[in-house]
Chains A and B, each alone.
Chain A
Amino acid sequence: MMKKRLHFFALLMLGLTPPLMADTVDDRLAAYQGEGASDFSAERGKEMWFNTYSHAAADKPRSCTSCHTNNPRVNGKHAKTGKPIKPMARSVNPQRLTEVKKIEKWFKRNCKWTLGRECSAQEKGDFLSYLRTL
């Protein structure tokens, strides 16, 4: 009897787990909406990936592609140290976009390096919307 009940609970938990585990990206998008962003666009995110930015600290125009190449599905290479960077696309690197701390750390660093400023909630939402399609 006891055993049967345990089985029942185990099955119940299994059944409940996937919908309870919301995707990290969904969580981020919801958080950005809380900061006033809305209507995220993968298309605008894609434009950000390929756009080049000039700012005071940049000796030459910078872009996401400076390190990550123009194909997010392949290895990138750190612009200065040459150290390989794993692909950004989740289809080839499922570890991507699974940790809030990492996502926000790299947004902070890389927006400052690339754009010369932090990204807005709208930009981050657009960007993640693009990356998650890959």
Chain B
Amino acid sequence: MMKKLMISVISVVAVAMAGSVAADSDRRGPDVKPMTNPLYQSECGSCHFAYQAGFLPARSWKKMMSGLADHFGDNAELGEEDRLAIEKYLMENAADMANERRSRKFMRSIGDSTPLRITEVGYFRREHDEVPQRVLKHEQIGSLSNCMACHTKADTGSYAEREIRIPGVGRWEDD
């Protein structure tokens, strides 16, 4: 009886410790809430990286989803049912609805403006202002819109510096 109790106490402590170690190595959680919507992934992600909803406020997504006939110069029209479903997902998971670290930073920078391009948000620009134009010209990059070219885990909502690998350059060290 006593032995059994000891074993269960030890296992509870062990599980708790393992939990705290895992939480410590990843203590900040994801930078932005991971994208989990298959419709958004297939409809929007077929042409470009499926940017997480938590990079723009709900009002930006609403505006964007109302103008898909001219989506940054491309036609990205959807059937009304899909359009509404994606709009709902984006608005419910938008930066002003999220508590993740980068979402909060984006919102602080965005204030009450309604940006349509993530790359034009002040915070994004400051974070990328050391990347030279010649680096972006690499055929595997093209522009700052291509998150996955350098942020190797961007599709999981993780934009940690240690995960950056820049084609033609390598690891990125901020100093």
Give residues in A with beta carbon < 8 Å to B: 57, 78, 80-83, 101, 105, 108-110, 112-113
Q: Are B48 and A109 in contact (CB under 8 A)?
A: no
Q: Are B73 and A105 in contact (CB under 8 A)?
A: no
Q: Are A109 and B75 in contact (CB under 8 A)?
A: yes
17 A-B residue pairs with CB within 8 Å: A78-B48, A80-B72, A81-B47, A81-B48, A81-B145, A81-B146, A82-B142, A82-B146, A83-B48, A83-B49, A101-B79, A109-B74, A109-B75, A109-B76, A110-B75, A112-B77, A113-B74
Query: Which residues of chain B come closer than 8 Å to A105, judged between CB atoms?
Result: 77-79
Bound CA span A83–B48, Å = 6
Binary per-residue interface labels of chain B (59-91) against chain A in the complex, 1 for a CB within 8 Å, 0 otherwise? 000000000010011111111000000000000
- Chain B nearest Cβ from A40, distance in angstroms: 25
**Residue in contact with A112 in the complex, picked from B48, B75, B79, B142, CB distance below 8 Å:** B75
* A57, A78, A81 interface centre (most CB from chain B within 10 Å): A81
Q: Are A113 and B47 in contact (CB under 8 A)?
A: no
Give residues in B with beta carbon < 8 Å to A: 46-49, 69, 72-79, 142, 145-146
Bound CA span A101–B80, Å = 12
20 other A-B residue contacts (CB within 8 Å) besides A81-B47, A109-B76, A112-B69:
A78-B48, A80-B74, A81-B48, A81-B49, A81-B142, A81-B146, A82-B142, A82-B146, A83-B46, A105-B77, A105-B78, A105-B79, A109-B74, A109-B75, A109-B77, A110-B75, A112-B75, A112-B77, A113-B74, A113-B75
- Chain B nearest Cβ from A106, distance in angstroms: 9
Bound CA span A101–B39, Å = 13
Query: Which residues of chain B come closer than 8 Å to A110, judged between CB atoms?
Result: 75
Tell me the nearest residue of chain B to A109, going by C-beta.
B75
**Residue in contact with B47 in the complex, picked from A57, A78, A101, A112, CB distance below 8 Å:** A78
Query: Which residues of chain B come closer than 8 Å to A108, judged between CB atoms?
Result: 75, 77
Query: Which residues of chain A come closer than 8 Å to B74, judged between CB atoms?
Result: 80, 109, 113
Query: Which residues of chain A come closer than 8 Å to B46, judged between CB atoms?
Result: 83
- Chain B nearest Cβ from A12, distance in angstroms: 37
- Chain B nearest Cβ from A75, distance in angstroms: 13
Query: Which residues of chain B come closer than 8 Å to A78, judged between CB atoms?
Result: 47-48
Query: Which residues of chain B come closer than 8 Å to A113, judged between CB atoms?
Result: 74-75
Bound CA span A108–B74, Å = 12
Query: Which residues of chain B come closer than 8 Å to A112, judged between CB atoms?
Result: 69, 75, 77
